[in-house]
Amino acid sequence: MGLWNFMKSAGRKLVGKDDLPTAAILEKEVADLGLDTKGAEIKVDGDKVVVSGGDMTQEEREKVILAVGNVEGVAAVEADTSGDPIFHTVEKGDTLWAIAEKTLGSGARYNEIFEANRPMLSHPDKIYPGQTLRIPQDA
């Protein structure tokens, strides 16, 4: 199992300020995004989320990791992966163009990052500091 850290204070606000999201809230978030966990179980242990089991592809699993990790109150996600995902945490001033230059070698490839993070991203300009993005490896 891999463990990925997220900014606990950044992300979608699904619960009150001092509350932590429950497994049911995170499962609803994943479903609302149109992602299918294909039988994976989502458990919450304090501010850590564990995603286990299920019959997802690597891409689907990475998107579920990001869907639950980019929620306010989640500091880490532990999950089984068949490879080593490449994630990038958005910093102040980042754009998808700059992230594509840094990670894919060309800013013109920003749309590949945008598409790799759909449905969590609705527009290429709507990223925020602390958000973690998936960098496609097969692009």
Q: CA-CA distance, 85 to 73, in Å (whole number)?
A: 22
pLDDT tens for residues 74-83?
999 999 988 8
Q: Residue holding tokens 């299918």?
A: 36
pLDDT greater than 70 at residue 107: yes
Q: CA-CA distance, 21 to 28, in Å (whole number)?
A: 11
pLDDT tens for residues 46-66?
999 999 999 999 999 999 999
User: What topology is assigned to 86-135 in CATH?
Assistant: Membrane-bound Lytic Murein Transglycosylase D; Chain A (3.10.350)
Backbone φ, ψ for residue 30 (5° rounding): -60, -45
Domain positions in the chain are 2-79, 86-135
Q: CA-CA distance, 86 to 41, in Å (whole number)?
A: 22
